[in-house]
Amino acid sequence: MLLTHATLATMSPASGTEGYGLIPDAAVVLEGERIAWAGPMADLPAGYRARPAQDCGHRLVTPGLIDCHTHAVFAGHRAVEFELRLKGASYEEVARAGGGILSTVTATRAASEDALLALALPRVDQLIASGATTIEVKSGYGLTVADELKMLRVARRIGQSRPVTVKTTHLAAHAIPPEFKGRSTAYIDEVALPSLRAAHAEGLVDAVDAFCETIAFTLEDLAPLFAEARALGLPVKLHAEQLTDQGGAAFAARHGALSADHLEYLSPEGIAAMAAAGTVAVILPGAFYTLRESQLPPIAALRAGGVPMAVATDFNPGSSPLASLTLAMNMACTLFRLTPEEALLGTTSHATRALGLTDRGRIAPGLRADLAIWDADHPAELSYRLGATPLHTRIFGGRLDA
- Is residue 169 at the binding interface for ligand DI6, with CB under 6 A as the rule? no
Q: DSSP letter at 241?
A: S
Whole-angstrom Cα distance, residue 148 to residue 195?
Answer: 7
For residue 101, the partner it binds in ligand DI6, Fe ion, none, with Cβ less than 5 to 8 A by kind, is ligand DI6
Is there a contact between 108 and 100 (Cβ–Cβ < 8 Å)? Answer: no
The SS3 of residue 337 is coil
- Is residue 316 at the binding interface for ligand DI6, with CB under 6 A as the rule? yes
For residue 348, the partner it binds in ligand DI6, Fe ion, none, with Cβ less than 5 to 8 A by kind, is none
CB of 237 to Fe ion, least distance (A): 10
The SS3 of residue 113 is helix
| Residue range at the interface with ligand DI6 (CB under 6 A); choices 27-35, 117-125, 178-186, 315-323 | 315-323
Measure the N-to-C terminal CA separation of the chain; round to a whole number of Å: 15
Whole-angstrom Cα distance, residue 81 to residue 78?
Answer: 5
Residue nearest to ligand DI6 (CB): 318
- Given the complex with ligand DI6, which of 92 and 125 has the nearer CB atom? 92
Measured CA to CA in angstroms, residue 311 lies from 68, 95, 179 at distances of: 8, 25, 35
| Residue range at the interface with Fe ion (CB under 5 A); choices 311-319, 325-333, 350-358, 382-390 | 311-319
The beta-strand segments (E) located in 43-183 are 53-55, 60-63, 65-67, 132-138, 165-173
- Given the complex with ligand DI6, which of 206 and 261 has the nearer CB atom? 261
Q: For Fe ion, which residue of 221, 241, 314, 370 counts as binding (CB under 5 A)?
A: 314
Q: Residues 152, 153, 159, CA angle at the centre, nearest 5°?
A: 95
For residue 342, the partner it binds in Fe ion, ligand DI6, none, with Cβ less than 5 to 8 A by kind, is none
CB atoms closer than 10 angstroms to residue 321: 17
Q: For ligand DI6, which residue of 101, 327, 331, 354 counts as binding (CB under 6 A)?
A: 101
- Given the complex with ligand DI6, which of 206 and 213 has the nearer CB atom? 213
The SS3 of residue 1 is coil
- Given the complex with ligand DI6, which of 289 and 384 has the nearer CB atom? 289
| Residue range at the interface with ligand DI6 (CB under 6 A); choices 14-22, 51-59, 99-107, 268-276 | 99-107
How long, in residues, is the chain?
A: 402
CB atoms closer than 10 angstroms to residue 109: 17
- Is residue 287 at the binding interface for ligand DI6, with CB under 6 A as the rule? yes
Q: Name the residue among 42, 64, 50, 40 with its Cα closest to residue 2.
A: 50
- Given the complex with Fe ion, which of 315 and 396 has the nearer CB atom? 315
- Taking phi over 0 as left and psi of -120 to 50 as alpha, with beta for the rest, 189 belongs to alpha
Q: For ligand DI6, which residue of 168, 242, 246, 383 counts as binding (CB under 6 A)?
A: 242
Is there a contact between 91 and 291 (Cβ–Cβ < 8 Å)? Answer: yes
Within 66-95, the residues that bind ligand DI6 by CB under 6 A are 71
CB of 174 to ligand DI6, least distance (A): 6
Is there a contact between 150 and 170 (Cβ–Cβ < 8 Å)? Answer: no
- Given the complex with ligand DI6, which of 20 and 211 has the nearer CB atom? 211
For residue 21, the partner it binds in ligand DI6, Fe ion, none, with Cβ less than 5 to 8 A by kind, is none
- Is residue 340 at the binding interface for ligand DI6, with CB under 6 A as the rule? no
- Is residue 211 at the binding interface for ligand DI6, with CB under 6 A as the rule? yes
For residue 397, the partner it binds in Fe ion, ligand DI6, none, with Cβ less than 5 to 8 A by kind, is none
Residues that bind ligand DI6 (CB under 6 A): 71, 100-101, 104, 174, 211, 239, 242, 287, 314, 316-320
Residues that bind Fe ion (CB under 5 A): 314
